[in-house]
Amino acid sequence: MSIEDKDTAPPMEAHGILTQFGTNVIHENLDFRVEKGEIVGLVGGSGTGKSVLLNTMLGLKEPEGGIIRYFGRDRTELTKEEREAINNEMGVLFQGGALFSSLSVRENIMVPLREHTDLPVPLMRELADMKIHMVGLPAQSATLYPSDLSGGMKKRAGLARSLSLDPKLLFLDEPTAGLDPVGANAFDELILGLREAMDLTILMITHDLDSLYTICDRVAVLVDKRIAIADTLPKVQEYDHPWVKEYFGGPRSRAALKAGKT
């Protein structure tokens, strides 16, 4: 594939994905793609396998069938070096931040730099401090430990670490869960700003209706072991499926829609 093709190919796409644990089929004939520069919200009921799908797309779980492509490249055809290069173009924020408790915020952010680069340590520190500033944390938080941080600060620190290698594709797992409405709105605004500043493509698992209405370009619905629809929110709301009707037709959804229009 030429460089031009790589630059225009979707950052991530999946075709015919089958995932299962023993005889328990989680996903079957699942198709999904994320276009360059967009923010996609992934929703689905409890037990539909959103986290399994995330882990599959991250390469933490191999699917039992189907094809996953990154930037137009079939994952199974990548060499070890090519797969490592692709992995470095992806960042992930797990629920709760998943910080190393024994490391400071700066040291947490430096972990990917230590593992995947040969940069001198002073430069790693400078880059880590730059990421701390980018996610809106105060400079003095660099020397704090996860136990010293609030829930919102932990998420921002985890986000800073996910951005340490300047990825092109960012995965967020319930980024606003546990935050109060003000903190959740501030985090949404941060994501929008980072998307523009770093030219990011973002896939976000979320139950936060406010996030879906305010920052997502498309919403993908995971039901019945597949992505039933992935489209703009107005079109998703019109999709004829009981779970979709209940999820987007309830009072919380109507309140979020009203707030998004004001």
For residue 29, the domain's CATH number is 3.40.50.300
d(CA 221, CA 235) in angstroms, rounded, equals: 12
Instruction: Please check whether residue 174 lies inside any domain of the structure.
Output: no
Structural domain includes residue 134: no
What is the number of structural domains in the chain?
1
Read off the pLDDT of residues 135-163 as tens digits, 9 standing for 90 and up: 999 999 999 999 999 989 999 999 999 99
Establish if 212 belongs to a structural domain.
yes
Residue 8 within a domain? yes
* Average pLDDT over every residue of 57-72: 92
Mean pLDDT in residue range 64-85: 92
Is the pLDDT score of 21 beyond 90? yes
Q: Is residue 206, in this structure, part of any structural domain at all? A: yes
Whether residue 34 contacts residue 42, with contact meaning beta carbons closer than 8 Å, is answered with no
Is 76 exposed, middle or buried (CB count within 10 Å of its CB: 0-12, 13-18, 19+)?
A: exposed
Q: Which residues form the domain of 230?
A: 1-89+202-262
- Partners of 15 in beta bridges: 67
On the question of pLDDT at 122 being above 70, the answer is yes
Token pair of 208, please? 């936060």
pTM across the whole model: 0.89
* Per-residue pLDDT band at 1 (split at 50, 70, 90): very low
CA–CA gap between residue 135 and residue 163 (Å, rounded): 9
Q: Which two tokens stand for residue 164?
A: 């340490």
- Residue 240 is assigned to a structural domain of this protein: yes
* CA pair distance 41, 176, nearest whole angstrom: 12
The pLDDT value recorded for residue 253 is: 59
Contact 44, 95 (CB under 8 A): no
Task: Kindly report, residue by residue over 219-261, the tens digit of the pLDDT.
Answer: 999 999 999 999 999 999 999 999 999 998 866 555 555 555 5
In a domain, 169, yes or no: no
Q: What pLDDT digit, counting tens, does each position of 172-208 carry? A: 999 998 889 999 999 999 999 999 999 999 999 998 9
Residue 117 is assigned to a structural domain of this protein = no
User: Do the beta carbons of residue 217 and residue 39 sit within 8 Å?
Assistant: yes
